[in-house]
Amino acid sequence: MPPLPSEHIVKSYDEELARLTGEIQRMGDLALKELEAAIAAVVERDSDSAERIVESDKEVDALENEVGQDVIRLLALRQPMARDLREVMAALRISSDIERIGDYAANVAKRAIALNRVELVRPVFSLPRLGKLAAEIISEVLLSYRDRDADRALLAWARDEELDGLYTGMFRELLTYMMEDPRNITACTHLLFMAKNIERIGDHATNIAENVYFIVHGTQIAQTRRKGDNTASVVAKVGTGKSA
């Protein structure tokens, strides 16, 4: 049976949405690979690989531009409503979060290059652990977007707390190393900023999870969780301990 004209329009809209979704999946896969490669570049002290990561981030940026243009065209020509409109708006927001994730991964790579130029007095095992957890969360969030699975998004969203805990521990550890021996200061400053970048990546992953939930349910995630950086108080404590 040949499709009715109205189905034609629906199908064509679905195709455009599928294209948009595909672009976002591709962006997400690239950003995830960037993060994993950046962590590997730190561990293996591989500056050449780090340079390539910084370069490859341009691809993510280019895809974000494409998504932005597709969204504007889709809104103008298709005037989507209800869930369709949520899909389009969420695509825009998710692409912006993935772009930020790629940016932070590229920052980790940039600092890896700098870190390779200075003496590393102590090996730091926490960074790969932090990076691995962030990568896992991103991967889960991307799967939840692919399947429009709000429950999976919620589970990934909740794991950011684990990441924040790990980050706070690492922050404390690095500060102690710096105080122990000034020769650690330069390397530890790099590692502090790298850890901070990964902590921010976690926040953007939770934003994506929130958008997946919003697509499916049309509402915000009801649970509230204070996202992010608790190191302000940690530093105070470490500092107080030292100056006491």
CA distances from 105 to 42, 214, 220 (A): 12, 26, 27
Choose between 2 and 219: whose C-beta lies nearer to a second copy: 219
Choose between 152 and 209: whose C-beta lies nearer to a second copy: 209
Binding-site member from 21, 96, 139, 168 for a second copy (CB under 8 A): 96
Contact flag: residue 183 with a second copy (CB under 8 A): yes
Question: Is residue 40 within 8 Å of 71, Cβ to Cβ?
Answer: no
Contact flag: residue 192 with a second copy (CB under 8 A): yes
Region of 1-9, 11-19, 104-112, 147-155 interacting with a second copy (CB under 8 A): 104-112
State residue 143 phi and psi, 5-degree precision.
-65, -40
Contact flag: residue 243 with a second copy (CB under 8 A): yes
Size of the site for a second copy (CB under 8 A): 43
Binding-site member from 182, 222, 223, 224 for a second copy (CB under 8 A): 182
Specify the DSSP class assigned to residue 4. P
Choose between 4 and 81: whose C-beta lies nearer to a second copy: 81
Binding-site member from 137, 175, 216, 221 for a second copy (CB under 8 A): 175
Choose between 50 and 152: whose C-beta lies nearer to a second copy: 50
Q: What number of other Cβ atoms are within 10 A of residue 186's Cβ? A: 17
Region of 27-35, 55-63, 78-86, 135-143 interacting with a second copy (CB under 8 A): 78-86
Contact flag: residue 47 with a second copy (CB under 8 A): no
Contact flag: residue 110 with a second copy (CB under 8 A): yes
Please name the residues in contact with 187: beta carbons below 8 A apart, sequence gap of 6 or more: 115, 118, 119, 120, 121, 122
Alpha carbon distance 74, 16 (integer Å)? 8
Contact flag: residue 193 with a second copy (CB under 8 A): yes
Contact flag: residue 217 with a second copy (CB under 8 A): no
Going by C-alpha positions, the residue among 199, 187, 180, 185 that lies closest to residue 124 is 187
Contact flag: residue 196 with a second copy (CB under 8 A): yes
Please name the residues in contact with 59: beta carbons below 8 A apart, sequence gap of 6 or more: 30
Both tokens of residue 129?
């652990």
**Which chain residues interact with a second copy by CB under 8 A?**
71-72, 75-76, 79, 81, 85-86, 89, 92, 96, 107, 110-111, 113-114, 117-119, 175, 178-179, 182-183, 185-187, 189-190, 192-193, 196, 229, 231-233, 235-236, 238-240, 242-243
